[in-house]
Structure formats: structure tokens, C-alpha cells
Amino acid sequence: MRVPPGLHLEYVSPAEYQAAGWDDVLGVASFNSAPDNGAHEDEIPFARVRTRVLAAQNGYEVWRTDKPAASGRHERVSFRHTEDMLFGCIAIAESEVAAESLRSRRAAGASALQEVTAQAYREICATLDAQAYPHLLRVWNYLRDINGDSAGTERYRLFNSARQHALRACGRAVTGSVPAASALGAASDSPLVVYFLAGRTAPVFVENPRQVSAYHYPRQYGSHSPAFSRAALVRQGGALTLFVSGTSSIVGHRSLHAGDSAAQTRETLANIEALLGEANRVGPGARFSLGALACKVYVRRPQDLPVVQAELAATLGLRAQVLYLQADICRQDLLVEIEATAVSPLAGAA
């Protein structure tokens, strides 16, 4: 299969996945306990995310590239890279935290989730340092029981605290120059799964004029703010690629339209449209539009799927590339979250 120049994303079915060629694959994420890589297990990084695929859809997220790639492993991080881009993944179960460390964790006020989060991010940063890909571009985080309580604190807030501490300890920014990212719930038996894209060239980080930057959220949302930008804009060859973080019905820093999945979907799409406008403003030659997005849509309540689908079809068109997943979202009052990837060819590019 010949793919467009640069990085390219596809959401494909199990049959399409198994029939596709492998030479141009940089990395894969599977959903809903889809079959694994088989013979390609040692070559292709494969993130297994335990979320339910909705609408009997495609269950594979495949990142392809037209450039030669090589595979490797650093500690628990499996990765594959080209000369300018690296895809990696890591999974650590909270049960892996050694029982003998329980007392010391409690004394330090740390939970098992915080410990595995810190371990994952330390190993990711060590991998990028060792392979000389200094710039995290896009990160996906999936953790079980994201809205659950642990010793009086929501688990998502514990995750944010551990992520921020780990990034600081590795000498990385926690505001401003931080990657696009998402953090979603996963099945109750899921490990922490993190997969990511990194590069050798710094991206342009993009914020949304309709929203407070996540890393500047007030303390009512937790003692440590989420460490992500609203989007990251990367130039590769003759195109610009935009990685849009998980986006929801938040204006300023407040959630809107409680209980109304249709209104939340419309507000989320308005946020994404504003973000595309900002990316077009700051990215010379960029021409991003809603109709060209590949979207992954997280729906908290499966019964809301037809309403969410109708809103997306009305805005993006019936031929849009969309993957629908059931997942809990970082705030309990949010019913829908949408992330997106878009490529804008530059004028005059070959």
C-alpha cells in the first residue's frame, strides 16, 4: 500500500488491518481487545487499549510513514522510528507495583497509579533522550477508573500530579511547550497504557482562544494542572500535520451543557473549529478545515451514540474518518470528547 508523504493515520477494520502491508507501519493502537500483531509483534509497537469500540466499527489506529523505519526497545518502551519521527508505547499495571513498596508509598502519600504513571513517564523521557528525539508531539493516556476516588482524591487528579512531577524530574516543561494529549478511562482490568509520537524538530504548540490553557486551570480542578497543549503543529516535508488534543464542551475553564450530549458535541466541534482557525493563523501556509479531520470520538454513555453521530455527520459530512469508542472522560460532567488529526499540504509542495 502506498501512503501519502509523511505521517499518515488510518482507522481500519480487523480485516483491513490483517490484509495491509507492514513495511510502512510506524505504530499501531488496538481497541476492544482486538487481535495482536502476530508475526510482527517484535517489530511494530502495538498499544493495546481496553476500551469498547462502538457502532461495530474499525478497531485499529494505524500510523504509517513513507520513510524507512527501524524498531527498538528501551526498558519497557517499545518504539519504531524514522529519521525525524518516533512512535512508542508502554503499559504498566498498577498490580506490578511491588507489594513490599506499599508501606513506603503510603508514607510518601503516593498511590499505585501515581507510581506507575511516574515510571511510565520516566521511561518515555529516557527513551527519547537515548534515541535523540527531544520533542514530545502527541501523547495518549488510558487509565482504569479515571473518575474513581483514591483516598479522597479523584484518580485523574492523581495521574496529573504524578505526570507533572515526573516531567519536572526529567527536566521537561509542564506549561507552554507541552505536547498535545488525551487522558481517558479504560476497562477495570486495564493497565496504564501510554503511547506517543515524538520528533527531532520542535512543533508549534497551539492554544484555543475560546479556552483557558489546560496547564493554567484554576486549583478547583486539582492541585496539579494537566500538562498538555490544545494542539501541536508539525511540519514534515511538504505538509503540516496538526495533532488536536482531546477536546470537550469546555469554554474558558468551565464545562457547559450538563446532561445534553448533543449540545456538548456541538460545543466541542465549535472548540475544534476555533482551534483550526488558530492553527491556520500561526502556521504559515496552513489550510486546515473540519471536513479534512480524522477524529476519534469518546462517548461516555453508549446510548448517546446516535445523537453524537448525527451531530458529527451534520458538521463533518458522512464520509469523515471517525472512530467511536466508549470511555469515561476526565470530568464526570462531560459526556463527549473528540480528538483529531489533520494534514494540510503546503502550496507548491511536490
Q: Are 288 and 344 in contact (CB under 8 A)?
A: yes
Closest CA to 329 of 342, 317, 338: 338
Catalytic, 154? Answer: no
DSSP letter at 252 equals B
Q: Are 290 and 304 in contact (CB under 8 A)?
A: no
Q: Are 61 and 89 in contact (CB under 8 A)?
A: no
Cα separation, 218 vs 212, in Å, equals 9
Q: In the chain, what are the domains? A: 7-345 (3.30.1330.40)
DSSP letter at 268 equals H
Strand ranges (E), 83-229:
85-92, 135-144, 149-150, 153-154, 180-186, 192-199, 204-206
Torsion of CA 222, 48, 181, 200, to 10 degrees: 130
Q: Please classify residue 272 by burial: count the beta carbons closer than 10 Å to its beta carbon, then call 0-12 exposed, 13-18 middle and 19+ buried.
A: buried
Q: Check residue 174 and give its pLDDT.
A: 98
Cα separation, 336 vs 301, in Å, equals 9
* Per-residue confidence in pLDDT tens, the chain, 350 aa: 344 567 999 999 877 877 777 788 999 999 976 555 555 667 899 999 999 999 876 789 999 998 999 999 999 999 999 999 999 999 999 998 865 465 555 545 689 999 999 999 999 999 999 999 999 999 999 999 999 999 899 999 999 999 999 999 999 999 999 999 999 999 999 999 999 999 999 999 999 999 999 999 999 999 999 999 999 999 987 889 999 999 999 999 999 999 999 999 999 999 999 999 999 999 989 999 999 999 999 999 999 999 999 999 999 998 899 999 999 999 999 999 999 999 988 865 54
State the catalytic residue, choosing from 94, 123, 154, 337: 337
